[in-house]
């Protein structure tokens, strides 16, 4: 009798849980799972929208072949410069967020004001406004122009890389603007390190420099990891990036195939980040 009741209470609990999650689950199936499956289906088919309904023709892997091998310009022309830039942008954003968060964590008068300033770009990080700034060349670091860095770079590096780097430098401030959320994450992470640890280190004779490398940085690794993931996702799903702009309603099949290839690349990037951090933390634990 008692057992019976207990069983009923666990099923009741599960029902309650399902009831709470059900709006999200319905949403997941309607707005995520089904469109995802349908988009995959579309990437193998030619789709025409006619007044009578959808006209579907099986195309097999032909769209993927077209994009990857035959007409590579659709993908590679935009993708490769973008990936090159991303390789610079991701570390810049993550490191900047870490440094600003560490600075903002110190106690000093006016801290709130500075925090407000550094969170501000969360508001601006919109394609349109940033694009306007970019067109005006507002993103460049003015003082670098005096040194004529771009022409120097084009002499030293192969043209593809020098154009990447000067592109990154030209929009440097705007890249920093992507770091609003990352600063928040880092700041919250920095506050998980108790002040007593630093005090103990100081009593043991550690210099501030040492305590940064031995305490702050190791404790921040999980948050740096989180930030890297967030940055990758944010950068790659930003509607303004060149591949995303190619997804249009003009050719459903081709666009779907393109976006799936692109999604594969995002996953690959995330996996690299994941394994990189995994190995790093393992190595760190071993040395400890």
Partner 1 sequence: MEKNMNRTRTGSLLQSSWQNPLLKTKHVLFGLEVDKGLLFKLFLYVLLIDTAFIYLNPIFTMVTTMIKNAEDLTNPSVIWIPNEIYLGVLQEAWDMLNYSKGFLISALMSTTVALLQTLSCAVAGYAFARLKIPFKNFWFFCLLLTFIVPPQITILPNIIAANHFGIMQTAIPIILPALFGHGLKGALFVIIYRQFFLTQPKELEEAAKIDGAHIFKVFFKVMFPLARPAMVVVFLFSFVWTWNDYYLPSMYLYNSEVQPLSQGISAISQQLEAEAELSGPSVFQDSIKMATGFLMILPLLILYMFTQRKFVEGVERTGLVE
- 184-223 residues near partner 1, rule: CB under 8 A: 184-185, 187-189, 191-192, 198-199, 202, 208, 211, 222-223
Give, in degrees to the nearest 5, the angle at Cα 175 between 239 and 164: 90
Residue 126 CA to residue 164 CA, distance in Å, equals 22
Size of the site for partner 1 (CB under 8 A): 94
Residue 227 CA to residue 139 CA, distance in Å, equals 22
Site for partner 1 in 57-96 (CB under 8 A): none
**Binder to partner 1 among 44, 175, 236, 257 (CB under 8 A)?**
236
Residue 171 CA to residue 139 CA, distance in Å, equals 4
**Binder to partner 1 among 100, 101, 165, 175 (CB under 8 A)?**
100
> Pick from 150, 176, 174: which is nearest to 163 by CA?
150
- Structure tokens, 144: 């670098």
**Binder to partner 1 among 7, 21, 80, 268 (CB under 8 A)?**
21
Site for partner 1 in 101-160 (CB under 8 A): 103-104, 106-108, 112, 114-129, 132-133, 135-136, 138-139, 141-142
Site for partner 1 in 252-271 (CB under 8 A): 252, 255-256, 259-260, 262-263, 266-267, 270
If one asks whether residue 274 binds partner 1 (CB under 8 A), the answer comes out as no
Residue 27 CA to residue 40 CA, distance in Å, equals 19
Query: Which range in 24-32, 62-70, 73-81, 87-95 contacts partner 1 by CB under 8 A?
Result: 24-32
Nearer to partner 1 among residue 154 and residue 281 (C-beta): 281
Phi and psi of 238, rounded to 5°?
A: -65, 125
Query: Which range in 12-20, 62-70, 146-154, 277-285 contacts partner 1 by CB under 8 A?
Result: 12-20
Residue 93 CA to residue 257 CA, distance in Å, equals 30
**Binder to partner 1 among 14, 48, 278, 279 (CB under 8 A)?**
14
CB 161 → partner 1: shortest distance, Å?
25
The Cβ of residue 198 has, within 10 Å, a number of other Cβ atoms equal to 16
Phi and psi of 158, rounded to 5°?
A: -60, 150
Query: Which range in 31-39, 55-63, 66-74, 148-156 contacts partner 1 by CB under 8 A?
Result: 31-39
CB 229 → partner 1: shortest distance, Å?
9
Residue 256, helix vs strand vs coil? helix
**Binder to partner 1 among 6, 7, 8, 30 (CB under 8 A)?**
30
The Cβ of residue 95 has, within 10 Å, a number of other Cβ atoms equal to 13
- Structure tokens, 198: 């630093």
Phi and psi of 46, rounded to 5°?
A: -95, 130
Nearer to partner 1 among residue 23 and residue 158 (C-beta): 23
Phi and psi of 277, rounded to 5°?
A: -70, -35
Query: Which range in 74-82, 152-160, 230-238, 279-287 contacts partner 1 by CB under 8 A?
Result: 230-238
The number of residues making up the chain comes to 288
């Amino acid at each position: 009798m008692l057992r019976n009741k207990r069983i009923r209470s666990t099923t009741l609990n599960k029902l309650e849980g399902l009831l709470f999650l059900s709006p999200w689950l319905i949403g997941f199936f309607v707005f995520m799972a089904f469109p995802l499956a349908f988009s995959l289906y579309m990437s193998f088919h030619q789709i025409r929208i006619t007044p009578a309904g959808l006209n579907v023709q099986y195309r097999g892997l032909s769209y993927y072949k077209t994009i990857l091998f035959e007409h590579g310009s659709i993908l590679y022309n935009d993708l490769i410069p973008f990936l090159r830039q991303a390789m610079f942008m991701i570390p810049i954003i993550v490191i900047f967020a870490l440094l600003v968060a560490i600075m903002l964590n110190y106690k000093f008068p006016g801290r709130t004001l500075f925090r407000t300033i550094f969170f501000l770009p969360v508001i601006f990080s919109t394609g349109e406004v940033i694009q306007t700034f970019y067109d005006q060349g507002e993103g460049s670091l003015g003082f670098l122009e005096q040194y004529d860095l771009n022409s120097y770079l084009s002499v030293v590096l192969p043209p593809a890389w020098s154009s990447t780097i000067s592109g990154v430098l030209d929009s440097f401030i705007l890249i920093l603007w992507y770091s609003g959320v990352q600063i928040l994450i880092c700041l919250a992470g920095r506050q998980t390190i108790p002040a007593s640890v630093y005090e103990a280190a100081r009593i043991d004779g550690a210099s501030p420099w040492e305590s940064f490398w031995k305490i702050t940085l190791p404790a921040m690794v999980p948050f740096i990891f989180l930030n890297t993931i967030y940055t990758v996702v944010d950068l790659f799903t930003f509607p303004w990036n060149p591949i995303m702009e190619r997804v249009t309603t003009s050719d459903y099949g081709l666009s779907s195939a393109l976006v799936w290839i692109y999604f594969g690349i995002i996953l690959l990037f995330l996996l690299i980040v994941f394994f990189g951090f995994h190995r790093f933390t393992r190595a760190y634990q071993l040395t400890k």
